[in-house]
A and B are shown apart, each in its own frame.
Chain A
Amino acid sequence: MKLNYILPLASLIAVSAFAAPQTFDFKDPKGVNNAVFKLDAPLESVTGSASGITGTVVFDPENPAATTGKIVVASESLTVPNPMQKEHLHSPNWLDTAKYPEISFETKSLANVKTDGNVTTADVTGTFTLHGVAKDITAPVKFTYLKDKLGARIPHAKGDLLVIRVNFAINREDFNIQKGQFEDKVANEIDLSLSIAGAYATP
């Protein structure tokens, strides 16, 4: 009699544990995670990247629509190949990295969620904060859930990986970055793309 209760309960607990949302840590020990930015300029487009990425995302493979999280990019890690451009970029006139050390995106909701195998696409809405200005934006996002693949990346580690790819564009004026200035030299629109992998380690 007791067994009739215990077995379904145990199964339920096992299924619940298996399907529980997982918290993925995006501090990448391999340093591959990156955010790329690109903006037009007269002589050549300015392309740079940032590598100082941290944050966590709670992802449930059984229910990707419930995904939440926050990704933070260290402003100081923004790099362009030209040293003078980099100096300007970090300076108080542009990003003011000393005053605003973080660029972040925090999810609010996901819409149009479609899952095909281990890939989920959706439109993510969240708060993007840059140069001390927070604005809600919506962008297409792609999640790739790589079950049991953490060990393939980090030897002796066990767990899963979650790869997130998102592309969107912002206007620097919206974030009070040299508003109305230098429009003939640096484009207002900035293309941003984020390619990051987070790890969920199991004991």
Chain B
Amino acid sequence: MKKALRLLALVVALAAVTVWAATGANRGWTKTSVPVKTLDEVTGIEGITYQKKFLPGVDFLAVAFAGALVLAGASLFFRRRPANTKQPNNP
């Protein structure tokens, strides 16, 4: 259990970094929409519309790392299974 929790913590942290990096390594806050600019050719005005898109930011990383830390911390509450329970025989 101890090992499984630590492994899960590692997976959570790595997955968060992978997702964050794959979506552009946004160093700002997490966004759920991104502005898309369109040019109105007649007036020359740049219109702004918002397209739904999940763009994880540093807060996403922070939450993921906090989760990983909780999992790793929880693993400390589990005792390590003794490697060898067999006692040596006395002569």
Contact = CB atoms under 8 A, between A and B. Distances in A.
Interface string A133-168: 000000000001010010011000000010100000
A146 B43 contact: yes
Contact of A34 (B28, B31, B48): B48
A153 B47 CA distance: 14
Interface in B5-36: 27-35
A49 B48 contact: yes
Interface string A26-57: 00001111101000000110010101000000
Given A79-B50, A163-B43, A32 B38 contact: yes
A34 B47 contact: yes
B40 A30 contact: yes
Contact of B48 (A51, A152, A163): A51
A93 B46 CA distance: 31
Interface size class of A (residues with CB under 8 A): 20 to 34
A161 B43 CA distance: 8
B43 A44 contact: no
Nearest to B45: A195
Contacts of A79: 33, 50
Nearest to A47: B35
Nearest to B31: A81
Contacts of A33: 45, 47
A146 B57 CA distance: 43
Given A32-B47, A34-B48, A161 B42 contact: yes
Given A32-B40, A33-B45, A83-B32, 11 more contacts: A30-B40, A34-B45, A44-B29, A49-B35, A79-B50, A82-B30, A84-B29, A144-B44, A146-B43, A153-B42, A197-B43
Q: Report, nearest first, the 6 A-B pairs whose CB atoms are least far apart.
A: A32-B47, A44-B28, A81-B31, A197-B43, A32-B40, A153-B42
Interface of A: 30-34, 36, 43-44, 47, 49, 51, 79, 81-85, 144, 146, 149, 152-153, 161, 163, 195-197
28 contacts: A30-B47, A31-B49, A32-B38, A34-B45, A34-B46, A34-B48, A36-B48, A43-B58, A47-B35, A49-B35, A79-B33, A81-B31, A81-B34, A81-B35, A82-B30, A82-B31, A83-B32, A84-B29, A85-B29, A146-B43, A149-B42, A153-B43, A161-B43, A163-B45, A195-B45, A196-B45, A197-B40, A197-B45
